[in-house]
């Protein structure tokens, strides 16, 4: 009788969900095919890559180890340097952008000052401006300051993250009650201590979210370092792989040996991002859902 009662209470799946599931399954397959293609073809040598084997399945000889050796020894091990550069640009830019976004978003949400409404309106407008549209003016500015072809030409522009400020502002409005801040002030805490001891712990989900989005954006940045840098030893991995791809296309058949390490280099370059997403997903999902962003 208990089993029958449980069965009566269990919601029945209606056929109307089947088309939605089919659409979601098609989208999942669509987005996974490029990743699967990279995983499969990074295991092949040049002969298997251009030998007419299936592009979506492994060749008889799976050779990740040899391809990895070629990847990290080609051109004096330049790929390892590009990875290190990407890590430096991503984490320096990501941490700096997160700090500025947290401070600016908290200030817009919890303090009244002259020009707050106008400043926030300008911020909303800045969210809509594509980052690529600002690369040429930024290049001219940094060129006049003598900072092009340096690491600062890549790190400094990434410190500005209008979307991060907007996200923090929305989160703080709902997740950090004014009454809690007022109680801390009544107890004698100053503004800095109130921010650090009371507000900052409540902002942890949105801090992790902004940090993750900023790091991913900096890691995948291509056009800005391409315009700013000339020395290939300063390239991030995105621009470096683009350089190898251009070389392989230019030399035609003579450049076929490069394609296997280009594909494997693309796969290796996304592994840190996958690890970051999987390890921090509990926090960044909370940051996106709390704050009336559901």
Note whether residue 23 is domain-resident. no
Interatomic CA distance for residues 39 and 241, integer angstroms: 16
- At residue 14, does pLDDT exceed 70? no
Residue 230 domain flag: yes
Q: Per the domain annotation, does 251 fall within a domain?
A: yes
Token pair in block for residue 213 = 């989005």
Cα distance between residue 153 and residue 239, in whole Å: 15
Whether 102 is in a domain gets the answer yes
The model's pLDDT over 250-283, given as tens digits with 9 standing for 90+, comes to: 877 666 778 889 999 999 999 998 888 888 777 7
Q: Say how far apart CA 287 and CA 274 lie, in whole Å.
A: 18
Per the structure, how many domains does the chain have? 1
The token pair at 281 is 């997903």
Three-class SS of residue 252?
helix
Residue 270 is part of which domain span? 71-284
Q: Is the pLDDT of residue 151 over 50?
A: yes
What confidence category does residue 292 fall into, taking pLDDT thresholds of 50, 70 and 90?
very low
Pull the structure tokens for residue 170: 């929305």
| pLDDT tens digit sequence for 223-241 | 999 999 999 999 999 999 9
Tokens (6 digits) for 67: 């391809």
Which class for 248: exposed (0-12), middle (13-18), buried (19 or more C-beta within 10 A)? middle
Domain of 213, CATH number, reads 1.10.3720.10
Has residue 116 been placed in a domain? Answer: yes
The answer to whether residue 160 sits within a structural domain is yes
The token pair that represents 178 in the structure block: 């004014």
- The pLDDT value given to residue 205: 86
Query: 202-211 pLDDT, tens per residue?
Result: 898 889 889 9
Inside any domain, residue 172? yes
User: Worst-scoring range by mean pLDDT, 81-95, 127-141, 168-182, 246-260?
Assistant: 246-260
The chain-wide mean pLDDT, for the chain, equals 87
Instruction: Report pTM.
Output: 0.84
Q: Is residue 96 part of a domain?
A: yes
Long-range CB contacts (within 8 A, 24+) of 273-279: 273/216, 273/219, 276/212, 276/215, 276/216, 277/212
Most confident of the following: 96-100, 121-125, 284-288:
96-100
């Amino acid at each position: 009788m208990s089993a029958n009662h449980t069965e009566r209470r269990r919601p029945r799946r209606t056929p109307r969900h089947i088309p939605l599931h089919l659409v979601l399954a098609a989208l999942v397959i669509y987005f996974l095919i490029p990743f699967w293609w990279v995983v499969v073809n990074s295991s092949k040598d040049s002969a298997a890559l251009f030998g007419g084997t299936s592009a979506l399945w492994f060749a008889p000889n799976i050779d990740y180890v040899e391809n990895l050796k070629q990847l990290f020894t080609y051109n004096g091990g330049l790929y390892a340097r590009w990875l290190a550069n990407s890590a430096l640009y991503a984490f320096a830019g990501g941490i700096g952008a997160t700090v500025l976004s947290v401070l600016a978003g908290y200030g817009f949400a919890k303090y009244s000052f002259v020009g707050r409404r106008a400043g926030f309106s300008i911020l909303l407008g800045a969210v809509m401006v594509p980052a690529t549209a600002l690369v040429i003016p930024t290049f001219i500015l940094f060129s006049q300051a003598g900072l092009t072809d340096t690491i600062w030409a890549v790190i400094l522009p990434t410190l500005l993250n209008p979307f991060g400020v907007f996200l923090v502002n929305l989160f703080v409005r709902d997740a950090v009650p004014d009454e809690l801040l007022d109680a801390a002030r009544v107890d004698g805490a100053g503004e800095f201590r109130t921010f650090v001891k009371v507000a900052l712990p409540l902002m942890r989900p949105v801090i992790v979210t902004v940090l993750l989005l900023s790091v991913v954006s900096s890691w995948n940045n291509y056009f800005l370092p391409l315009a700013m840098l000339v020395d290939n030893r300063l390239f991030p991995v995105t621009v470096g792989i683009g350089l190898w791809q251009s070389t392989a296309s230019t030399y035609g058949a003579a450049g076929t040996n490069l394609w296997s390490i280009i594909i494997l280099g693309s796969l290796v370059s996304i592994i840190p991002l996958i690890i970051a997403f999987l390890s921090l997903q509990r926090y960044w999902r909370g940051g996106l859902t709390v704050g009336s962003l559901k």
